[in-house]
Structure 1
Amino acid sequence: MTYATSDGQYWLARTMDFGFELGGNPVVIPRKYNFQSVTGRSFTTKFGFVGAGAKLQDYIVVDGVNEHGLSAATLYFSDEAHYSDQPVSGKLNLASFELVNWILGVNQSTAEVRAHLDQINVVNFALPLLKANVPLHWIIADRAGHCGVLEMQAEGIHWYDNQIGVMTNSPDFAWHRQNLGNYVQLENGGQPDRQFNGYTAKQIGPGAGALGLPGDYTSTSRFVRAAFMREYAPAVPDKVAINTVNHLLEPFDIPRGVKLQANGKFDYTQYRGYMQMSNPTYYFQPYQSSDISAVHLTEALMNKSTVTDFPVPREQQVTALN
């Protein structure tokens, strides 16, 4: 979800929920870094960026923010994503899991991403880690407050302006947006008294306006819940927003063991990522710890000739106060 601060700045935050252990950490990709794609093509970044990633054939970054405040995150798009079967001459051919590298490495805003989509072709290629093609779609936001969703389906490329500011997994964004019409009764207040054949029923307690808010772990329910929480979240100054954004994401954490997949594995929230756009910084919170690590994009990091990795401790630190 995106978050707007009281002083006109913006954040993008996400949970990374997956059954396969991804093992990512914060990484900084410098300016003028040459990416080697699994397609055999390559491109050179214009801008430095920081996000969660890991090195396979080359570095794969799944979410992050660049030096101009443009941020992006990949989300799973099972049974919906459709890519080209063959490379296209004259275009930059990339695999789906490499697209964030291009989004953040060569674009400054959501408008630029949209304008440059005709320059790329996403090709069916297996992710070496999973040995399978990865169905993905993307939420993209910039420091001016613009947010979009990029989806590639059988009928072509879709770009949606995302005023709602949230995104989850399948179905497609247009379906999620329309589904909000089933929840127009939700509010953060109470409910009026009701008459039942002369008996007056009163709400049992505060919060009755949210009765019917779905609380399960399906992507459809999480979309509604995120839209509701984002709508009523208090706006705080940018310099202290990490605390508010952290609390907004807490209800979407999936603990190990509660979401079983058909293959017998459990989806769980491997980490939360928070992207501050005004002062490009990436915050990383692993499942194993409530501690949050931060990596700020500095000129020194962006001008290095190599990628900088920041391994994050996975142990919970507890401070005794007595």
Structure 2
Amino acid sequence: MCTSLTYKDANSNWFLARTMDFGFELGGRPVVIPRQHHFTSDATTTGFDTRYGFVGAGRNLNGYILVDGVNEKGVGAAALYFTESVYAAQPQNGATNLASHEVLNWILGNVASIADLKEKFANVNILAVPNSLLKIVVPLHWIVADSTGASVVIEQQATGVKITDNPVGVMTNSPDFDWHLKNLNNYVQLNPGLHSDKPYGEFTANSFGAGTGALGLPGDYTSVSRFIRTAFTRQYTEVAANTGAAINTLSHILNNVEIPRGVKIQADGDFDYTQYRGYMSLAEPTFYMQPYADQTITQVKLTEKLLNSAAPVEFPLQTQQQFHEVN
């Protein structure tokens, strides 16, 4: 399960960030997909073509599958697990037929803005086709944002595809996005200040000081609680002065929902944990990846050379010595 959010710095530059929380080891790394790339597809024999170059976290599985990233037009997107997804059983003539795990590649490769997405996605048909790595039809929904700060959530259920404007700038997992927005109404009392003293009969209850305004903020790892916690911290965290400060700020916001290994056990005994955090600068555009095992952030900026390369380019994750022995 995962958490995502949009963020604006003091220069009005926008970012999209996410945690990748999963039990199965995905093994992704930063990769640049160049312009005019052809993808093979699990949904059709013809595959699909892309126009724009993009960078994100992915893996080569007889063709690259990405789960988040940003393209040269400043459109960022992330795929998150969504168990309520319902996909089509058959291809549609004249439509762009995609497996769920291919949707993000198509978005980043063909969409120049949120307005462009809303127009083009009307011709997309998402099929119930298994993923070659997980061997299942991967239930996903998507958060997409552009460099203007516009953001939407894409979900497909039994009633069809729904593209919803995202006014809160946060997305997690099930229930559906509209449910999460309604649930925010249960937390209108949250604030970053102090609660005032309250009389109870002849007794006055005194608050314990700073932080009491956040009493009731849920602290567990469910998608419902992570949504509320992220919406709160996104709303009140100090605005970062520049890109470097924004990436640092986003890492602190996502620290609030990062899942350490072993604390979230599934029914089969496996456990989810935050395999990495991804940060997408939509203005530059640049992708940053911060893995669980080493908190060093790897940065990959889209350049003309990379965008015009003959084939996708992978980048190793940077590492550094975290601890130094003191004699």
Both proteins in one fold, TM over 0.5: yes
Please give the per-residue CA displacement for 1:120-157, whole angstroms capped at 9, x wherever unaligned.
11111101111110000000000001010000000011
Report the counterpart of residue 139 of structure 1 in structure 2.
Answer: 143
Q: Deviations over 1:208-233 (max 9, x none)?
A: 00000000000000000011011101
Q: Distance in 1 between matches of 2:168 and 2:46?
A: 36
Percentage of pairs with the same residue: 53
Aligned to 2:134: 130
Say whether the 8 Å CA contact 1:41–1:92 is kept in structure 2.
no
Aligned residues: 321
Q: Is residue 2:46 matched to residue 1:41?
A: yes
Counterpart residue type for residue 258 of structure 2: D
Query: 2:13 aligns to what?
Result: 9
Spell out, residue by residue over 1:202-259, the C-alpha distance to the aligned partner (whole angstroms, 9 max, x if none): 1112100000000000000000001101110111223321111111111111000000
| AA of the residue aligned to 2:76 | S
How far 1:312 sits from its partner (Å)?
1.3
Partner of 1:159: 163
> Residue in 1 aligned with 2:76?
71
Instruction: Give, in whole Å, the separation in 2 of the partners of 1:316 and 1:196.
Output: 55
What residue identity is the alignment partner of 2:56?
G
2:89 to 81, 85, 88: 85
CA distance in 1, matches of 2:326, 2:67: 38
> In structure 2, what is the Cα distance between the partners aligned to 1:55 and 1:92?
22
2:188 aligned to which of 184, 208, 223: 184
Separation (CA, whole Å) in 2 of partners of 1:112 and 1:142:
10
SS in 1 for 2:256: helix
The alpha carbon displacement at 1:87 in A equals 0.8
Partner SS, residue 79 of structure 2: strand
In structure 2, list runs of 5 or more residues that go unmatched: none
* 8 A contact 2:193–2:212 mirrored in 1: yes
> Shift of residue 41 of structure 1?
2.9
**In structure 2, how many angstroms separate the alpha carbons of the residues matched to 1:258 and 1:132?**
25
Distance apart, 1:92 and its partner CA: 1.3
Q: Give the C-alpha shift of residue 315 in structure 1.
A: 7.0
For the aligned residues, what is the CA RMSD?
Answer: 1.3
Which residue is 1:199 aligned to? Answer: 203
Mapped partners of 1:164, 1:282: distance in 2: 22
C-alpha displacement at 1:57, in angstroms? Answer: 2.4
Alpha-carbon distance in 2 for matches of 1:316, 1:25:
20
Matched residue of 2:147: which SS? coil
List, as ranges, runs of 4+ consecutive aligned residues in structure 1 with deviation greater than 4 Å.
313-316, 319-322
